Chains A and B, each alone.
Chain A
Amino acid sequence: MSPHPNPPMEVFRGLGVADGISFGLGVCISSGVSDIYQLPLPPEAIAAEIERFHRAVAQAHGELCALRQRVGEELGEELAGIFDAQRLLLDDRAFGDRVAEHIQAEQVNAEWAIYETTTEIQSRFDALDSAFIRERSEDLRDVSRLLLRQLQGIDSHPLSELKEDIVIVADDLTPSDAVRLGRTNVVGFAIEHGGITSHSTIIARSLNLPAVAGLTGIRDRLIEQTQIPLIVDGSAGTVVLNPDQAARARLRHSRIDHERETHQLESAGKLSAITRDGEAVRVMANIELPEEIEESKRFGASGIGLYRSEFLYIERSPVLPTEDEHLAIYRRLLESAAPHPAIIRTYDLGGRKIAREVMETDEQNPVLGQRGIRLTLARPDIFHTQLRALLRASLYGNLWIMLPMVSVVEEVRRFRLQLRAVMEELEADGLPFRREVALGVMIEVPAAALIADILAREVDFFSIGTNDLIQYAMAVDRNNEQVSDLYQPLHPGLIRLIRQVIAHARTAGIEVSMCGEMAGDARLTPLLIGCGLRQLSVSPRQVPKIKGLIRRLSAQQLAGVADRCDGLESAQAIAEHLRQSVHEHID
């Protein structure tokens, strides 16, 4: 609630990570703990909210007593004493009074007040130079979690109760939060740190929600004053607090432009992707969420070139999706894409992608650890459900199964054995499926790219996953600002790898496509066509643009342009070569 009738406009600049523009009320969420929102409450609801907190304390108290008794009986008094400390923390006036103060003073929900109080006490603990800090902090966190769990059972205040459009303001955003929140009345994300994970970014884009990251200080600003109306402009990378008349007018214009553009894209997507010299290119869509299935059709995608199945897991996290849940979404994908293929990639968990429930150990270097196919083979119990569902879904369309992170031939062979075992099991269960499903590998490990000729004997198709291929080939983390300039899609070494993979696939007579951001970058499309690629998978909104561009290209001429890249010394030299020669070959 603002003290001014016309509070001054403030602009925060960050990095736009998902395009679009929207307007809503800023609502903070805590980092690390999901389901804690800072909800502004009307003054008349404050007393009831404090009462709600006290009831949660009473219930938590009961739960702790029961727990203490059980631990005492089973494990002994010494351990049970731990819960005494927690019970006292719960009853501590220094804690409870402070929570009530926060509710009262800031007119916020109990969850948020608990979060704030816990953070305050935590920072005092952190300031202590004592060996027992850890133990105390854990008790505090346990009590806070226990209370939050109780509160969720007591007339919780879900975000959807707010009728206004909401912009989520957070330190960081986990992919599962992004999905959960993105499906409510949330219209955009404003993230304090650059720490928005690439997965959250992908989700924001998938849901067509603008997102801006790297907004230093925005969270503190929103905590100090709630209910600030703001505009998130993902295209400009700005967040405008208390936008004035002019800013709101610009918002309306941008929206109209955006709708007009969408309309134009939809008509452009209807045209076929055939080069001037008659080469047909299949432009497919990358999909993470079911929401995008319809969208990809509207924009004219010829099938689904990459369904990242781990998003099904991220959506359901922390529970693993059931066989029926897998089956339902695969069926939708296949039916929608038919007669074109739907390429479903098996879980690419591990690495940086959340997999607490699956992984047993913390890895020192997860990006080089047990991820993708490595985890699939190591944990057949988890992937068994997915394989059953994939095979059962094969009846509904043109299923291509793709394995992520393959680096050795043996991985493909072992997967085939697993697949065969599942087939036998389905037969025994009397469940129908198709035996001939296409099996392919994602080419994203440089060593796999270098043995493409050998791998081609084992599989039906390749898909070049450029994001990881560049990361591994260049040994660079593109989220690390210190080295991100070395993330070079046009590095001569990378172009060689890509050309070699395409050449081997063509020699072997198997399909080869490219997913990953390089495929959707219109500046690179002429080069890719020149390299002989005839299948690309891009995000749904990029489909019409790429198709339109392909119609203006001559594949034959571009083959020469691509050949002449070989021998150029650097990414800059290749970029310059493309700039000079490509426009001659665009109609």
Chain B
Amino acid sequence: MHDGARSEEMIEQELTLTNRLGLHARAAARLVHTAARFRCTVSVAHDGESADAKSILGLLLLAAEQGAILVVRCHGDDEKRALKAIERLFAERFGESS
């Protein structure tokens, strides 16, 4: 873990959930899949609570619904690519039709 020493290098981005169902099981699953492709740590915060984006349980327990603003934080050598991939996932509404 590189926390602490390199914490100032962490990048973060606010993203809005626009898909109809919010961060439900399938959307959370896709987020976990995406985050897991990268070596960096990825966390998602909602309403002051933060969860590991590589743990579906953590994401589900955020109970984020449509319209929620999430803060995604990436930290590690491939953090920029990870954040970009996650931004794309949000923009594509997690592959849902609406």
Contact = CB atoms under 8 A, between A and B. Distances in A.
A92 B57 contact: yes
Given A92-B55, A93-B55, A85 B28 contact: yes
B58 A85 contact: no
B57 A82 contact: no
Interface in B44-91: 52, 55-58, 60-61, 63, 65
B24 A132 contact: yes
Contacts of A135: 24-25
Contacts of B60: 125, 132, 136
Interface string B1-34: 0000000000000000000011011101110110
Contacts of B26: 81-82, 84-85
A95 B57 contact: yes
B47 to A, nearest CB: 11
A92 to B, nearest CB: 5
Contacts of A95: 57
A130 B29 contact: no
A84 B61 CA distance: 17
A4 interface: no
Contacts of B22: 132
A345 B52 CA distance: 60
A128 B57 CA distance: 13
Contacts of B55: 92-94
A181 to B, nearest CB: 33
A85 B29 contact: yes
A131 to B, nearest CB: 7
A454 B58 CA distance: 68
Given A81-B26, A84-B29, A89 B57 contact: yes
Contacts of A131: 65
A85 B28 CA distance: 7
A121 interface: yes
A295 interface: no
Contacts of A310: none
Interface residues of A, number: 22
A435 interface: no
Nearest to B52: A94
B65 A121 contact: no
Interface residues of B, number: 19
A82 B61 contact: no
Q: Which of A81, A82, A125 has the most CB of B within 10 A?
A: A81
Given A81-B26, A139-B25, A121 B63 contact: no
Given A84-B33, A89-B56, A95-B57, A130 B28 contact: no
B29 A121 contact: no
A88 interface: yes
Contacts of B65: 130-132
Given A128-B61, A130-B65, A131-B65, A92 B56 contact: yes
A124 interface: yes
B24 A88 contact: no
A374 B16 CA distance: 57
Interface in A35-84: 81-82, 84
Contacts of A94: 52, 55, 57-58
Interface string A223-240: 000000000000000000
A129 interface: yes
A91 to B, nearest CB: 8
A394 B29 CA distance: 61
A72 B96 CA distance: 16
Contacts of A89: 56-57
Contacts of A124: 61
B29 A125 contact: no
A128 B58 CA distance: 13
B97 to A, nearest CB: 9
Q: Which of B25, B26, B60 has the most CB of A within 10 A?
A: B60
Given A81-B26, A82-B25, A135-B25, A88 B56 contact: yes
16 contacts: A81-B26, A81-B29, A82-B25, A82-B26, A84-B33, A92-B55, A121-B57, A125-B61, A128-B63, A132-B60, A132-B63, A132-B65, A133-B63, A135-B25, A136-B25, A139-B25
Given A81-B26, A129-B63, A132-B65, 6 more contacts: A81-B29, A84-B30, A85-B29, A93-B55, A94-B58, A125-B60
Interface of A: 81-82, 84-85, 88-89, 92-95, 121, 124-125, 128-133, 135-136, 139
